[in-house]
């Protein structure tokens, strides 16, 4: 029999591939997307300066553990920012538009407040320093409100994925700079005061990106009244079936993770005996890198698993990974063990964060997304600010570090149980978009 002619090999779709590559390149170099890297950096810079880095500074200068624990209350503004989010929506400074105007004002004031923090010391002026940190947190939360709204307004539909990725990248880079790098700078090079001076200067430079960033192509109508800005989004949310149960889930889901991380810097320095440089290099830099990897992996897995399955699987991993700190507490001092344990804990924390952000997004109605996301994201900080911060020191003093980290696993279980009970509600969100 004559041999069948072989089909000609398919011509590679070179043109199509080039089109895809060009489209990807264009979206990341878009004048609406590119500035978000620096603006995301500005958004993330103040957080560590009022939390982990400030905690390390107080620890090194011998501030009592109980007082360090209450420094976590500095972050209250991030919890209650939804209270003034409608004001940011309703009113605007008389320059640069409704969103960029607020961003520029807060960035300049943040730079001044961070510089002022560098002029004080936790050992001799803890209260004035704490009050300045409260001001920084308030200004930072206000910047976040305006920045989140700006991203929503300025990005075209096809640019939102790239914009979100660039925004998160900038935020995480800022966490590395103001967290790990700041600890190394303070411990090895220029001291704590000068480190805060440098961070204030960086914030001022970030304000230039706000001047460079474009205005949205379509400017949304501002609410005509405070009632319109406040009442309608809240009424829509709280009239949903199971709204209170879902709000409780938001508080509880990452509570075990919040307790484990509340005094993690103090534990690694004072409890495990590592130097600030070691903690800065491993806990902050490696830890944040692991968090980024976990978040990216979590987003990929969520596309296949769905929201509920991802929340449950990542929540379990998040709870069990707290045992990594327990292992550090009961083992001889080892920088390699710390690296492995911190990497694992932050990787699992990143997985949980990806699913948790997915939950918050699923809960927001599109027409109310700015106010509702501010409300929900602020509520998510309740456990970290009002429970983990004040309660961690007495638990550590009573149980010791090993016993405390075992208890954090137990603290994570009620959130997972509530998640199981709300399975049908969460699956309904994904089916019909009704939160």
Where along the chain do its domains lie?
30-219, 223-435
pLDDT the model gives residue 157 = 60
pLDDT the model gives residue 392 = 87
pLDDT score of 65 more than 70? yes
Mean pLDDT of 386-402: 86
pLDDT score of 133 more than 90? yes
Question: What is d(CA 234, CA 372) in angstroms, rounded to the nearest whole number?
Answer: 7
Question: What is d(CA 30, CA 245) in angstroms, rounded to the nearest whole number?
Answer: 41
Q: Provide the pLDDT confidence category of residue 297 given band limits of 50, 70 and 90.
A: confident
Q: Provide the pLDDT confidence category of residue 143 given band limits of 50, 70 and 90.
A: very high
pLDDT the model gives residue 152 = 72
Q: pLDDT above 70 covers what percent of the chain?
A: 84
pLDDT the model gives residue 19 = 44
Q: Which residue has the tokens 């096809």?
A: 158
- Nearest partner of 345 among 387, 402, 288, judged by Cα: 288
Question: What is d(CA 369, CA 89) in angstroms, rounded to the nearest whole number?
Answer: 12
Rounded to the nearest angstrom, the gap between the alpha carbon of residue 433 and the centroid of all alpha carbons in its chain is 25
- Nearest partner of 37 among 154, 160, 170, judged by Cα: 170
For residue 230, count other CB atoms closer than 10 A to its CB. Answer: 19
User: CB burial class (10 A; 0-12, 13-18, 19+) of residue 22?
Assistant: exposed
DSSP conformational letter for 283: I
pLDDT the model gives residue 148 = 79
Q: What is the pLDDT of residues 323-348, one digit of tens each?
A: 999 999 888 888 899 899 989 988 89
Helix axes 191-212, 36-49, angle to 10 degrees: 150
157 against 225, higher pLDDT? 225
The per-residue pLDDT of the chain, averaged, comes to: 81
pLDDT the model gives residue 386 = 81
Q: Provide the pLDDT confidence category of residue 162 given band limits of 50, 70 and 90.
A: low
Which class would CATH give 223-435? mainly alpha
pLDDT score of 177 more than 80? yes
pLDDT score of 56 more than 60? yes
Cβ contacts of 106-110, under 8 Å, gap ≥ 24: 106/139, 106/140, 106/142, 106/143, 106/146, 107/42, 107/143, 107/203, 107/204, 107/206, 107/207, 107/210, 108/204, 108/207, 109/139, 110/42, 110/46, 110/136, 110/139, 110/140, 110/143, 110/200, 110/203
- Nearest partner of 341 among 329, 350, 358, 359, judged by Cα: 329
| Fold annotation for 30-219 | Growth Hormone; Chain: A; (1.20.1250)
Mean pLDDT of 260-283: 83
229 against 190, higher pLDDT? 190
pLDDT the model gives residue 239 = 80
Mean pLDDT of 244-255: 90
Tell me which of 53-62, 128-137, 198-207, 271-280 is least confident.
271-280
69 against 131, higher pLDDT? 131
Q: Provide the pLDDT confidence category of residue 299 given band limits of 50, 70 and 90.
A: low
Q: Provide the pLDDT confidence category of residue 404 given band limits of 50, 70 and 90.
A: very high
b vs e for 319-352, b when ≥16 Cβ sit within 10 Å of the residue's Cβ?
Answer: bebbbbbbebbeeeeeeeebbbbbbbbbbbbbbb
pLDDT the model gives residue 380 = 81
CB-CB contact of 310 with 358 (8 Å): yes
Question: What is d(CA 368, CA 68) in angstroms, rounded to the nearest whole number?
Answer: 38
Question: What is d(CA 262, CA 389) in angstroms, rounded to the nearest whole number?
Answer: 6
CB-CB contact of 183 with 276 (8 Å): yes
Enclosing H/E stretch for 53: helix 52-60
pLDDT the model gives residue 290 = 85
pLDDT the model gives residue 253 = 92
Reported residue count of the chain is 435
Which residues, 6 or more positions from 139, have their beta carbon under 8 angstroms from its beta carbon?
A: 46, 106, 109, 110, 113
Q: What share of the chain is helix, strand, coil (3-state, %, to 5)?
A: 80, 0, 20
pLDDT the model gives residue 138 = 94
Question: What is d(CA 381, CA 132) in angstroms, rounded to the nearest whole number?
Answer: 20
pLDDT score of 14 more than 50? no
Mean pLDDT of 401-422: 92
Which residues, 6 or more positions from 89, have their beta carbon under 8 angstroms from its beta carbon?
A: 149, 222, 223, 229, 370, 371
Q: Provide the pLDDT confidence category of residue 298 given band limits of 50, 70 and 90.
A: confident
């Amino acid at each position: 029999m004559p041999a069948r002619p072989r089909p000609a090999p398919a011509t590679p779709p070179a043109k199509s591939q080039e089109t895809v590559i060009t489209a990807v390149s264009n979206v990341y170099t878009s004048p609406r997307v590119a500035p978000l890297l620096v603006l995301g950096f500005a958004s993330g810079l103040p957080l560590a300066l009022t939390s982990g880095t400030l905690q390390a500074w107080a620890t090194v200068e011998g501030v009592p553990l109980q007082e360090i624990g209450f420094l976590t209350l500095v972050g209250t503004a991030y919890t209650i920012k939804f209270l003034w989010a409608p004001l940011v929506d309703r009113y605007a400074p008389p320059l640069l538009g409704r969103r960029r105007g607020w961003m520029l004002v807060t960035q300049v004031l943040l730079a001044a407040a961070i510089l002022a923090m560098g002029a004080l010391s936790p050992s001799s002026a803890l209260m004035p320093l704490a009050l300045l940190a409260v001001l920084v947190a308030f200004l930072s939360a206000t910047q976040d409100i305006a920045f989140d709204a700006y991203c929503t307004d300025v990005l075209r539909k096809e640019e939102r994925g790239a914009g979100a990725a660039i925004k998160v990248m900038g935020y995480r880079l800022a966490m590395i700079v103001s967290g790990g790098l700041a600890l190394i700078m303070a411990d090895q090079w220029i001291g704590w005061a000068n480190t805060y001076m440098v961070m204030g200067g960086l914030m001022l430079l970030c304000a230039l990106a706000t001047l460079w960033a474009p205005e949205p192509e379509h400017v949304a109508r501002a609410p005509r009244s405070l009632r319109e800005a406040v009442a309608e989004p809240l009424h829509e949310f709280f009239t949903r079936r199971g709204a209170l149960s879902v709000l409780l889930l938001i508080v509880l889901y990452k509570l075990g993770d919040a307790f484990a991380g509340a005094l993690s810097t103090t534990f690694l320095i004072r409890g495990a005996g590592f130097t600030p440089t070691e903690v800065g290099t491993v806990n902050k830099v490696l830890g944040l890198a692991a968090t980024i990897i976990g978040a990216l992996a979590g987003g990929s897995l969520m596309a296949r698993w769905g929201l509920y399955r991802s929340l449950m699987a990542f929540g379990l991993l998040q709870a069990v990974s707290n045992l990594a700190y327990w292992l550090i507490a009961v083992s001889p001092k080892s920088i390699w063990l710390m690296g492995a344990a911190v990497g694992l804990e932050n990787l699992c924390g990143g997985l949980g964060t990806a699913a948790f952000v997915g939950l918050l997004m699923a809960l927001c109605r599109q027409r109310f997304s700015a106010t509702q996301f501010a409300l929900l994201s602020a509520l998510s900080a309740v456990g970290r600010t009002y429970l983990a911060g004040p309660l961690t020191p007495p638990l550590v003093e009573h149980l010791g570090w090993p016993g405390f980290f075992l208890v954090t696993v137990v603290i994570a279980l009620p959130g997972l149980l509530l998640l199981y009970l709300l399975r049908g509600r969460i699956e309904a969100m994904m089916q019909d978009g009704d939160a």
